[in-house]
Amino acid sequence: MIPSPHPTAPFRIARTFNAPLDTVWRAWTDPNRLTQWWGPKGVTATIKAFELRPGGVWHCALQAPGGPVMWGKYTFREITPKSRLVFTVSFSDEHGNLIKHPLSPDWPMVILSEVDFAESGGRTTINVRWTPVDATEVEARTFTDGAPSMTAGWTGTFDQFQAWLATVKD
């Protein structure tokens, strides 16, 4: 993990889905599947690049109805098939250049995202852990204060994922 000069408690959220690990893993690692559910409810995802390898980039646009397009750049650091994805998360422009959060200029520029997958009895649990990287004190405080917003965003994303899983036949 990358050290941060201002230690901040990570944000954590988990959800168990009524789907086998293989289906869940493919949904997270196949860009054609990912665009069908990624983002909070009502948000449309468009993937510009997706290189599933350490150092590879996932570059994506998210748009809520009537809202601005918000670009994200995710850089893969670790991929353990059917077990773990580690990547950094940043806001970007459409060309992949990192930018400050369009709606929160004190948000950390880079978040380390650790996503763990575990199956039990045909159900898969996803554990997400977010930690700011090299955040200033103000950015670390903004991140900590943003827990309710992150919870709402991830809950909406997980709700959308759950609805999508109900339509998958594999």
- Would you say residue 58 lies in a domain? yes
Please compute the mean of the pLDDT values over residues 3-23 and round it to a whole number. Answer: 84
- Would you say residue 6 lies in a domain? no
**pLDDT, tens digit (0-9, with 9 covering 90-100), for 37-83:** 999 888 899 999 999 999 999 999 999 898 889 999 999 999 999 99
- Would you say residue 2 lies in a domain? no
**pLDDT, tens digit (0-9, with 9 covering 90-100), for 113-155:** 999 999 999 999 999 999 999 999 999 999 999 999 999 999 9
How many domains is the chain partitioned into structurally? 1
- Would you say residue 170 lies in a domain? no
Beta pairing class for 11-17 and 123-132: antiparallel
- Would you say residue 5 lies in a domain? no
- Would you say residue 82 lies in a domain? yes
**CATH label of the domain that carries residue 49:** 3.30.530.20
- pLDDT of 90: 97
- pLDDT of 7: 62
DSSP, residue by residue, 29-93: H-HHHHTTT-SSTT-EEEEEEE--STT-EEEEEEE-TTSPEEEEEEEEEEEETTTEEEEEEEEE-
**pLDDT, tens digit (0-9, with 9 covering 90-100), for 72-124:** 999 999 999 999 999 999 999 999 999 999 889 999 999 999 999 999 999 99
- Would you say residue 75 lies in a domain? yes
- Would you say residue 4 lies in a domain? no
- pLDDT of 74: 98
Residue span of the structural domain in which 138 resides: 11-165
Residue 140 CA, distance from chain mean position: 18
Residue with tokens 């599947």: 33
Residue 125 in 3-state DSSP? strand
